Amino acid sequence: MSRSRVEVAFIAVVAVLLAWVIWGAQEWDLRARLFPLTVAIPVLALLAIYLVLTLVRGGAPKESGLAAEFESGPAALGGREAMRRGLVMAGWTIAFALGVWLLGFRIGSGVLAFAYLRAAGHEKWTTCILYALGAYAVLALGFDELLGIDFPPGVLQRLAGLDVRFL
């Protein structure tokens, strides 16, 4: 299967998923559907534009400069290293999902952001701590306090009977 066909298939799958999110969110309360619609609608529009460009040009446009170096990077790595990096990224994605499920959105995102920056990004401790606290503050103050959107508690928070409003 050629690269352009794979791209078209991928775009189609993502577009169907985004359309499903948009359709499903219509039944939600306005505050609950605000974020998914704010993300899904523009991404769906950009996907449609990219799909048209891909079909008209017969593939993605050729990149130059830094983008071209980035494109040649994984191919130059070799199969094992590319596979290892892909598995590491998939592992972090699963870790973030589990962290949010177990710890709740506010705490899980801060804890996993800290863990990712420290383990994968090799950042300094102060950078990791400040970033984690910043992520928590944005979610707690921005979404909970300013927008009034309460995130559901994590499994561990419910089992421990913790007051989620302050964690």
User: Do 111 and 103 contact (CB within 8 A), yes or no?
Assistant: yes
DSSP track, 95-140:
HHHHHHHHH-HHHHHHHHHHHHHHHTS---HHHHHHHHHHHHHIII
For the chain, how many helices (H) and strands (E)?
A: 7, 0
Q: What are the C-alpha distances in Å from 156 to residues 39, 100, 119, 146, 161?
A: 29, 10, 23, 26, 8
pLDDT of 58 higher than 70: no
pLDDT at 1: 59
pLDDT of 125 higher than 90: yes
CA–CA gap between residue 110 and residue 115 (Å, rounded): 9
Tokens at 80, concatenated: 């094992």
pLDDT at 146: 82
Band of residue 72 on the pLDDT scale cut at 50, 70, 90 = low
pLDDT at 64: 53
Least confident stretch, 65-74, 78-87, 102-111:
65-74
Band of residue 126 on the pLDDT scale cut at 50, 70, 90 = very high
Task: Over range 111-123, report the average pLDDT.
Answer: 93
CA–CA gap between residue 100 and residue 77 (Å, rounded): 32
User: Do 110 and 135 contact (CB within 8 A), yes or no?
Assistant: yes
pLDDT at 65: 52
